[in-house]
Structure 1
């Protein structure tokens, strides 16, 4: 089996201006190669928008570090259509399109998944933000792009602060203190089965848990109740994804609420999950 790992031009090793978090790309490629090569397989990393590639030379595509898709969404989806006409692409085109806009959270909420309270704004009017604070009854909120990733274009705003310019459609949520007190818990599922979990914590003085902001990851053995909460999120999807990362935070009552379910291009933390590579190999093989 020859797998193509879909990246972006700033994460592939040949890039002359690699992203600071491109080491995550290298970790995933190492994980996949060590899993595939003992079975005679091969894994190649290619930018999703590389026009020179003959995609039919591969057996399947796995969406990987395609981290520039939020600013190139129509072209990205068109590329998946083109690649998918020649080889299977994971996750599926339908799941990817659904998951690229964070409005998918409303669908999950309608199915009973426990969410962080959210106000959806297609256009941000700064003078109206006082009403947002009042609606949540809090003094600190988080504003995120509805189509975005990696905390790009995200803002933490305290009541009374000047509201920054936000040209994109946004989602507004109350700041969850547990993201600092405990951290964010990520649950990795492969083929619908729980694989591993980790706790992501922010650097001192920050709340963002991504590595490019100084965040740290620690392997975690979650409780049965916490795994069940994450599994409930996965079960609310219209189809079982090949891979999923369910990101959750703890509410005041001790239960978990969904931050996001990542089905497009999540980093799957291979260093914290030694079974990840073999599980991915078997899951892809089973679907071909």
Structure 2
């Protein structure tokens, strides 16, 4: 018989609260909101680092990925662990959807399902092409280059015709080891920001607006971006829920990042299904909605 109903996954650096580091405190605080919401529903809950070598993962019915934000820096190790643990317990979200969502090629699958994504060109590993050739072929001037497997804006570069030569060496080193993607620079993200829509069990719960700091194009708060509450339109809510329902299976939680593209249309920037920041501190009630979805999942499995 399982000892726990649900283990909340984090990483070692976020296991403990911090009185001096606001970022670490927010991570801890939000995970605790989920922890207490699960406990209030009578679920036996624990919070652990995903690489805890002493825990027997078969002793929990579910594991919930929350703040495992080092996985893309330790991808080979994480991938092997994921394969092992998926045989011992149920993952939220599932191994299948995690592996699908890790690689940004998933955007092409969504596009085939009539989801309007940011215009994108994928450059496969070992491709024999230069940045100058790409920009000439695609007729793009201002672009953003990033890896297909990434996070926290790792190796994300803003390019233009004038600085391609300066980035060419880095691009060639990257493309030897991994696939990359090139996208036209989206000017509205700088001026209007990017909207993050939280969707649990297919239903929208809350949204926030992220804006880059002056002089930057990255909206993540890691890089000084701002975050504020946002009330989305009915069209934006419908778009976010449609994105989630277009996945290979319905995730129990999702963050849908959307923006207004250069043609003034709602477009999908990213669909975060692995370990998204969900901003429960802006909407604590949403932690209870996620907890209820988890309890319903347990009841269905039993």
For the pair 1:7 / 2:7, whether they are aligned, the reply is: no
Of 237, 256, 264 in structure 1, the residue corresponding to residue 266 of structure 2 is 256
For the pair 1:230 / 2:219, whether they are aligned, the reply is: no
For the pair 1:244 / 2:254, whether they are aligned, the reply is: yes
- Contact 1:3–1:44 (Cα < 8 Å) also in 2: yes
Map of 2:158 onto structure 1: 156
How far off is 1:19 after superposition?
9.0
How far off is 1:41 after superposition?
3.5
Q: 1:32 to 1:55 in 2, by over 3 A?
A: same
Q: 1:100 to 1:216 in 2, by over 3 A?
A: same
How far off is 1:75 after superposition?
2.6
Distance 1:235 1:56 in 2: 30
Root-mean-square deviation over aligned CA pairs: 2.3
Counting only pairs closer than 5 Å after superposition, residues 90-169 of structure 1 correspond to structure 2 as 90-123=92-125, 128-161=130-163, 162-163=166-167, 165-166=170-171, 167=174, 168-169=178-179
Map of 2:293 onto structure 1: 283
Q: Structure 1 stretch 47-56 or stretch 213-222: which is displaced more? A: 47-56
How far off is 1:52 after superposition?
1.0
How far off is 1:105 after superposition?
0.8
Number of aligned residues: 286
Distance 2:201 2:292 in 1: 9
Q: Structure 1 stretch 245-254 or stretch 191-200: which is displaced more? A: 245-254
Distance 1:20 1:144 in 2: 28
How far off is 1:214 after superposition?
0.7
Q: Structure 1 stretch 18-27 or stretch 245-254: which is displaced more? A: 18-27
Q: 1:49 to 1:19 in 2, by over 3 A?
A: farther
**Structure 2 segments unaligned to the other structure (5+ residues):** none
Distance 1:249 1:136 in 2: 22
For the pair 1:85 / 2:87, whether they are aligned, the reply is: yes
Q: Structure 1 stretch 82-91 or stretch 72-81: which is displaced more? A: 72-81
TM value normalised by structure 1: 0.91
Distance 2:54 2:44 in 1: 20
Map of 1:181 onto structure 2: 191
Q: Structure 1 stretch 65-74 or stretch 221-230: which is displaced more? A: 65-74
